[in-house]
Structure 1
Amino acid sequence: MKPELFEVWGDTVDGRHLIYAICIGAIVSLGAYFIARQLLVGWVADAQMARAYAMLVGIVGCLAGGAISATLFKPKRNVVEHLADPAWRSKILIELQNEYGPLGSLADLPPATIAELREMDLYDLFAEYDKGLHTSPDEPPVKTVSATSIEGGRS
């Protein structure tokens, strides 16, 4: 039997596991609250303060219920990795430039951002875009989609 999947807050979940997780969270958090309330009434002089502390213990119970559910029910999402078409990436950069204006220069970015671009294999794409911005007026700008290679650079 194939599980019925739903999208909740941008994540994919199994409907049965979602109901189980809600029940686990309710039982753990309410149990923690009621136990703490019973214990704290004898220790704390003010009954209202005992209930307030018990509510804090109940909130910790919510976190514990979430941790239990996360351990029991693994994610249902399927991550599919594929290399994006460099021509498509170049086309998107051109569309962004046409809609919002120049995207800026790599020289303006902090080293941490440059390192992140390199990790995501996007540095060469933005370097080509940046090189196209700094060509002389006699040269045509690097905006042709068909001139990109598989590696994202100029051919």
Structure 2
Amino acid sequence: MVDRRHLAAAVVIGAVVSLGTFLIAARIFAATVAVPDVGRAYAMLVGLLGCVLSGVICAKLFPPKREVVESASDPAWRLAAMQQLAGETGTIGRIEDLPPQVIAEMKELGLYELFASYDAEQNRPQATVTGA
């Protein structure tokens, strides 16, 4: 939910800072630049910097109020994603063929076990049924 007071304050801060920097820069550049159009263009650039500055000010004054909660995903969804990846590319490759840096990164992200188990499942010898 949006805090209306914070939103109103952020709008006022944004307008004052960005417009203020533009107007101040327009006066400075009008007195120092020979071509007025170039002075206005420079003033607009400074006004854009004022917009960024007002965003930084508002971010410091009004921290986010949302809480992001990570939840465990369904293993069946992961398996379906792996099968789709293998179907699109023909194979996902072998985990043993990866460079050590990639393996370390995958372990850090918690993806190594997923790919290793899928790789082991795909490379497991399939039992054949013969009729008598």
Q: Normalised by the shorter chain, which TM-score bucket?
A: 0.7 to 0.9
The amino acid of 2:15's aligned partner reads: A
Structure with the larger strand share? 1
Unaligned ranges ≥5, structure 2:
none
1:75-90 correspondence to structure 2 within 5 Å: 75-84=64-73, 86=75, 89-90=78-79
Give the equivalent residue in structure 1 for 2:113. Answer: 124
- Percent of aligned pairs with the same amino acid: 44
Cα pair 2:86 2:92 within 8 Å, conserved:
no
Normalised by the length of structure 1, the TM-score is 0.66
Structure-2 change in CA distance of 1:23 and 1:112 (3 Å): farther
Give the equivalent residue in structure 2 for 1:28. Answer: 17
Match of 2:92 among 75, 81, 104: 104
Moved runs in structure 1, 4+ residues, more than 6 A? none
TM-fit CA distance, 1:83: 4.0
TM-fit CA distance, 1:76: 1.6
Normalised by the length of structure 2, the TM-score is 0.76
Query: Max radius of gyration: which structure?
Result: 2
How many residues in Structure 1 have an aligned counterpart in Structure 2?
Answer: 126
Structure-2 change in CA distance of 1:109 and 1:38 (3 Å): farther
Give the equivalent residue in structure 2 for 1:49. Answer: 38
Structure-2 change in CA distance of 1:41 and 1:113 (3 Å): same
Q: Deviations over 1:98-139 (max 9, x none)?
A: 874655123565555433321122211110001111122328
